[in-house]
Amino acid sequence: MSTTSDRDCATLLRQAISLHRAGRLPEARRCYLRILAVDPRHFEALHLLATLHSQAGRHAEALVLFEQAIRIDDTRPELFSNRGNALKELQRFDEALASYDVAIRLKPDYAEAYFNRGNVLKEVASFDAALMSYADATRLKAHYVEALKNQGVTLQKMERFEASLAIFTRAFCLKPDDAESINNMGTALQSLGRHEEAIKHYELAIAIDLNYSDAFYNRGISLHRTKRIQEALSSYQEVARLKPGDTNTHWNQSLALMLLGNLREGWRFYESRLNKDDMRAEYYEGPELAWRGQTDISGKRLFIHAEQGLGDIIQFARYLPRLDTFGAEVIFQTPPSLMSVMSTLRTQVSLISTDASLPPFDAYCPLMSLPYVFKTSLNSIPADTPYLFANDKKTAACILRLGRKRALRVGLVWSGSVRHSNDSSRSLPLKELCPILDLPIEWHSLQQEYRPSDLKTLEELSSIHRHEPHLRDFSDTAALVACMDLVISVDTSVAHLAGAMNKSVWVLLPHVPDFRWLLERHDSPWYPSARLFRQQRPGDWKSIVGELHHELISHS
């Protein structure tokens, strides 16, 4: 190649690099291609063009160019690190790690390669190894804020929240005007339940970056958890302004709106759950009509599928009889444990179990979209109870098994499933209830499962009768509920079952309850037989137990 061509290539390369740094990628790409047209083995042009493709999200094309550059010169550590980044984006994680390892072997103090390696390890949930890589990156580059932040995120994924807070604080000290570090400190504090502190950090991050949607979103969560629901809603509205159509924001808006009693708008936003990443798999997707009341389905077959928890299914099954007015054949798919009790609904709905094959149908609707279909407001909740009933034969057998009643007969549920996202707030240890368990009351546990700590407490108590061998499904639980004078329950499926049966039920609620229980009021528009006992402060079960003690004395 001529000397003139060499000079031209050098000039073009300087121009391309300048354009590349300025973010003018199409123009930079044309310059790199002009160089390669003259010299197809021009290493810098190949490497930088590959990097440009990676930045533009064209990782497969980038990888081809990285490989060409490696065949020309395999001694450049940054080439292997950048190649690893492309492999990571293509989810070829093992190859990406191997590429970073080559970069580190060529340059043992290559902090960025350790950082990139940590990112892959975090992606594949090798969290301990990721932490080691980030630690190496910050050891080699003391002011490596991004490595510190990713180290903190990894610690959060490991639920090591105190450690993550310390790391995020280090990042903040190195770069006090970094809104992301401050937001990350907030998320660590939020995970530790220190919401007031978290809110202050989010507000500082927002003051630095007025368009920081993540900080507004996280601020909304902490405001919600401190029962500042209207402020939380305002924060979510800011996110919606900055990120229109964001599914998670709409979901959180729906919960806040309904907690405030704005059900009509809340149900509209609640439809967003069908597109949430962590919920989408639960919902049916097919060619049939996704029905929300907008189309005449008279003479058609409508498929309604149960969703979310057992309590949700019990609560919203009340809508199934109302579908009779649409003139459709309705098929309701429900978990096996609820089949028997759902068969007591006064409706022509056909029941099938979730473990059975689906028959053909014309339209479908998730169960919890029915309030949206019926445009339910606070004043139009269908609260005609009972709508679920105990089996007469099972109830008779239960009465026989219980024997003669000697005192007020009370069914008790103090904990729900540990898999529930808010279980730590809604459940309480059995020992917290000891002040009322000494009262002259005939106590009956309505639970099927017990936690190890509660089993130890149960062994020390003779006042609670256990029935789990007889509770095979919810029709057995319904029979036992029917034999009670009163049910006392935390926010679980049994509370919903008792309410649906119009049994007197006292529901024990955390400081910030689920949306269906609304705020402040001590009755429920969903269940006329329910009375609500609310925590005045987070985790304060003691005051509720004191209220229960007073009320039970007057009832017994």
Q: In the predicted model, is pLDDT for residue 129 greater than 80? A: yes
Predicted pLDDT at 56: 87
Say whether both 474 and 544 belong to one domain.
yes
Predicted pLDDT at 120: 94
Single-letter residue type at 246: D
Residue 494 near residue 508, CB atoms below 8 Å: no
Rounded CA-CA distance 552/442 in Å is: 12
Residue 129 covered by a domain: no
Which domain range does residue 350 map to? 288-373
Average pLDDT value for residue range 153-170: 93
Q: In the predicted model, is pLDDT for residue 179 greater than 90? A: yes
Predicted pLDDT at 1: 40
Average pLDDT value for residue range 251-280: 96
Residue 356's SS3 state is coil
Predicted pLDDT at 510: 95
Say whether both 360 and 413 belong to one domain.
no
Say whether both 428 and 361 belong to one domain.
no
CATH of residue 531's domain is 3.40.50.2000
Please tell me which residue, 20 or 524, carries the higher pLDDT value: 524
Say whether both 327 and 368 belong to one domain.
yes
Q: How many domains does the chain have?
A: 3
Q: In the predicted model, is pLDDT for residue 417 greater than 70? A: yes
| Calculated CA dihedral for residues 457, 459, 464, 467, nearest 10 degrees | 110
Say whether both 407 and 525 belong to one domain.
yes
Q: In the predicted model, is pLDDT for residue 4 greater than 60? A: no
Q: Is 327 left (phi over 0), alpha (psi -120 to 50) or beta?
A: left
Residue 304 host element (H or E): strand 301-305
For 120, 157, 453, 470, the CA distances from 421, given in Å and listed in that order, are 28, 16, 20, 28
- In the predicted model, what is the mean pLDDT of the chain? 93
Please tell me which residue, 529 or 284, carries the higher pLDDT value: 529
Residue 191 covered by a domain: no
Helix, strand, coil shares of the chain as percentages rounded to 5? 60, 10, 35
Say whether both 416 and 535 belong to one domain.
yes
Residue 451 covered by a domain: yes
Only one residue has tokens 């060529």, namely 106
Rounded CA-CA distance 316/442 in Å is: 31
Q: How many CB atoms lie within 10 A of CB 82?
A: 25
CATH of residue 1's domain is 1.25.40.10
| Domain-ending residue, one of 73, 107, 137 | 73
| Domain-ending residue, one of 313, 339, 373 | 373
Q: In the predicted model, is pLDDT for residue 29 greater than 90? A: no
Residue 59 near residue 91, CB atoms below 8 Å: no
Percent of the chain with pLDDT over 70: 99
For 533-544, the pLDDT digits (tens) are 999 999 999 999
Residue 116 covered by a domain: no
Say whether both 368 and 396 belong to one domain.
no
CATH of residue 305's domain is 3.40.50
Predicted pLDDT at 240: 96
Residue 221 covered by a domain: no
Say whether both 311 and 438 belong to one domain.
no
pTM of the model: 0.86
Confidence band of 6 (pLDDT split at 50, 70, 90): low
State residue 340 phi and psi, 5-degree precision: -65, -45
For 427-463, the pLDDT digits (tens) are 999 999 999 999 999 999 999 989 888 998 888 888 8
Return the minimum-mean-pLDDT range out of 265-279, 445-459, 521-535: 445-459
Say whether both 400 and 527 belong to one domain.
yes
Cβ neighbours of residue 313 under 8 Å, at least 6 residues apart? 306, 307, 334, 335, 338, 367
Residue 220 covered by a domain: no
| Domain-ending residue, one of 29, 51, 73 | 73
The first and second tokens of residue 438, run together, are 């000494």
Rounded CA-CA distance 186/109 in Å is: 32
Predicted pLDDT at 496: 98
Say whether both 455 and 496 belong to one domain.
yes
The first and second tokens of residue 201, run together, are 């950090």
Residue 229 covered by a domain: no
Confidence band of 192 (pLDDT split at 50, 70, 90): very high
Residue 203 covered by a domain: no
Say whether both 401 and 301 belong to one domain.
no
Q: In the predicted model, is pLDDT for residue 146 greater than 90? A: yes
Please tell me which residue, 43 or 488, carries the higher pLDDT value: 488
Residue 117 near residue 132, CB atoms below 8 Å: no
Cβ neighbours of residue 87 under 8 Å, at least 6 residues apart? 63, 93, 95, 96, 99
For 281-337, the pLDDT digits (tens) are 999 988 999 999 999 999 999 999 999 999 999 999 999 999 999 999 999 999 999
Say whether both 363 and 397 belong to one domain.
no
Please tell me which residue, 555 or 455, carries the higher pLDDT value: 455
